[in-house]
Chains A and B, each alone.
Chain A
Amino acid sequence: MSNFVRGLKCRLCGKAYPKQPLNYCEDDFGPLEVDYDYAAIREAVNRGKIELRPFNMWRYRELLPIDGEPTVGQLVGGTPLVKAHRLAEAIGVKNLWIKNDAVNFPTLSFKDRVVSVALSKACEFGFTTVGCASTGNLANSVAANAAQAGLQTYIFVPHDLETAKIIGTTVYGAKLIAVKGTYDDVNRLCSQVADRYNWGLVNVNLRPFYAEGSKTFGYEIAEQLGWRTPQHVVSPMAGGSLIGKIHKAFHEMHKVGLLDREPKCKIYGAQATGCNPITAGLKAGSDSHRPVRKPNTIAKSLAIGDPADGYFAIKVMRETGGWGEDVNDKEIADAMLLLAQTEGIFAETAGGVTLAVTQKLLAQGRIPRDEEIVICITGNGLKTQDAIANIVEQPVIIRPNIDDFAAVLDGAREPVLV
């Protein structure tokens, strides 16, 4: 495979670096990102060529930063873009789609996209031990994909994660380190681990490569709409990276000739009110996020109080003409049920955040009701069942007797707790 990566460059000062497992600039600590030769990519790709490839994230391989063929997560991506008629009617909009990474393979979240790039790259760099700091979904994905690749794995998470996310990590044989602290404490510790041990930590020293995997979420949306972008995209924000990568994906596709028109998509960011550093910064008119020391929300996958990409996320929302909002735990849970009961999609709490924020932005008139909207669902509700266990309808318990059932139909029997 041809290699279209020129190296890394600092997102602040532009200083160039050779390809290496390094995530920050030695001059100003700015984050590094992958530098591509877009002119060469433009020569190498076209819609027809991509359409002939299997429908997974690697059909856009020229725009991803690995040197050879992917060795980890070869089947990741290619998730449905669902035209959401019933939900559209329920929330009062004309054209609505759900990009559904709740069914991403293998671990049911969009994190499989970033991990397949990061671990393929880790293998290219020769790492035999990998790891991450995680709020849960990334932990699951690194553990599963590393198991497939035969890599040693150390995963660092806050100690109070949902049981499903803990078991969904340790089952793959990963060494799970539960840290008594917030995600930000875990993240800081992981930076120190990366500094001391020669490991490939996917969202620390492999971050420039890792983050590029998120772009495939955006590529797929545009291709599934018929090689065009929607007018509005609403995305959850934790670290604040995904919304920037969706925006980047759309513009790259135009740059390399996959989209005819320059994208004019407005990008909106969604957070939980109990951890809203980015939307608080945006709404206050600041150019950077407002750190939250102690996040308190049921949307644990979004509970990053000090997201360093907040600065870039705010920039994307402002520059595209989008906006950001945050919603409380009740709004989150209600939206999870609404999505499930109108579209049959059981999203995790972060999905509830994104839908509830969409409703709020519609009510505020920030998003027009008659234009095309895509909502990003990034994780699966089976992992966060505790959040809605007390508000879903309880089963009715009866004897195996037809008259018992008839009584239920007649409304004579109330649901009882199991």
Chain B
Amino acid sequence: MPIKVQIPQAMRQHADGQANVDLTGANVKEVLDSLGVKFPNIVGRIFENGQVRRFVNIYLNDEDIRYLDNLQSATKDGDVLAIIPAVAGG
């Protein structure tokens, strides 16, 4: 079973219109790298100089990866990786 990556609406134009993409990888970085291989236009929108952009949040099974091991957070089959714009809230 692969890892399910959720693509936010405004980015789907760069992912053949898909809301969810099934990918593989041993950690968050590897999964996102394989997303980049499949849809090259997405990479630069998520990363800047190798870092996740300031207003992009990434969640592994509903937990912010900054509270896990960031891009090195280990992934396993059946995990859900969500890419979500950072919203100020309040």
Chain A residue at minimal CB-CB distance from B59: A188
Is A30 close to B, CB under 8 A?
A: yes
B55/A28 in contact, CB under 8 A: yes
Of A28, A203, A311, which is within 8 A of B89 by CB?
A203
A28/B53 in contact, CB under 8 A: yes
Which residues in A have their C-beta under 8 angstroms from that of B90? 135, 138, 203, 238-241, 304, 307
Give the residue among B53, B56, B62, B89 with the most A Cβ atoms within 10 A: B89
Give the residue among B13, B45, B67, B88 with the most A Cβ atoms within 10 A: B88
Interface residues of A in 232-271 (CB under 8 A from B): 238-241
Of B56, B88, B89, which is within 8 A of A29 by CB?
B56
Q: A12-B55, A184-B64, A188-B59 are known contacts. Are A239 and B89 too (CB-CB below 8 A)?
A: yes
Q: A195-B8, A238-B90 are known contacts. Are A29 and B62 too (CB-CB below 8 A)?
A: no
Which residues in B have their C-beta under 8 angstroms from that of A308? 55, 86-89
One digit per residue, 1 when the CB lies within 8 angstroms of any chain A CB and 0 when it does not, for chain B 40-84 equals 000001101000011111010010101100000000000000101
Is B23 close to A, CB under 8 A?
A: no
Chain A residue at minimal CB-CB distance from B67: A293
Is B17 close to A, CB under 8 A?
A: no
Is B1 close to A, CB under 8 A?
A: no
Is A185 close to B, CB under 8 A?
A: yes
Which residues in A have their C-beta under 8 angstroms from that of B87? 23-24, 31, 187, 190-191, 203-204, 207, 308
Chain B residue at minimal CB-CB distance from A293: B67
Which residues in A have their C-beta under 8 angstroms from that of B48? 28
The contact size tier of chain A is 35 or more
Of A12, A133, A192, A239, which is within 8 A of B84 by CB?
A192
Of A31, A184, A291, A307, which is within 8 A of B55 by CB?
A31
Distance to closest chain A CB from B74 (angstroms):
19
Is A43 close to B, CB under 8 A?
A: no
Complex Cα–Cα for A304 and B88 (A)? 9
Complex Cα–Cα for A311 and B46 (A)? 18
Give the residue among A23, A28, A241, A291 with the most B Cβ atoms within 10 A: A28
Complex Cα–Cα for A184 and B48 (A)? 24
Complex Cα–Cα for A29 and B87 (A)? 10
Complex Cα–Cα for A288 and B54 (A)? 9
Complex Cα–Cα for A12 and B54 (A)? 10
Of A24, A138, A240, A291, which is within 8 A of B85 by CB?
A24
Q: A187-B89, A188-B59, A308-B86 are known contacts. Are A195 and B9 too (CB-CB below 8 A)?
A: yes
B89/A183 in contact, CB under 8 A: yes
Chain A residue at minimal CB-CB distance from B86: A308
Q: A191-B85, A192-B82 are known contacts. Are A29 and B55 too (CB-CB below 8 A)?
A: yes
A191/B88 in contact, CB under 8 A: no
Is A22 close to B, CB under 8 A?
A: yes
Is A414 close to B, CB under 8 A?
A: no
Complex Cα–Cα for A138 and B85 (A)? 21
Interface residues of B in 12-37 (CB under 8 A from A): 13
Which residues in B have their C-beta under 8 angstroms from that of A291? 64, 66-67
Complex Cα–Cα for A30 and B57 (A)? 12
A26/B11 in contact, CB under 8 A: yes
Distance to closest chain B CB from A278 (angstroms):
11
Distance to closest chain A CB from B85 (angstroms):
4
User: Which residue numbers of B lie inside 8 Å of A, CB to CB?
Assistant: 6, 8-11, 13, 45-46, 48, 53-57, 59, 62, 64, 66-67, 82, 84-90
Q: Which 7 A-B pairs have the closest CB atoms?
A: A239-B90, A309-B88, A24-B85, A308-B86, A238-B90, A239-B88, A308-B88
* CB pairs A–B below 8 angstroms (5 shown): A29-B56, A31-B87, A31-B88, A195-B9, A291-B66
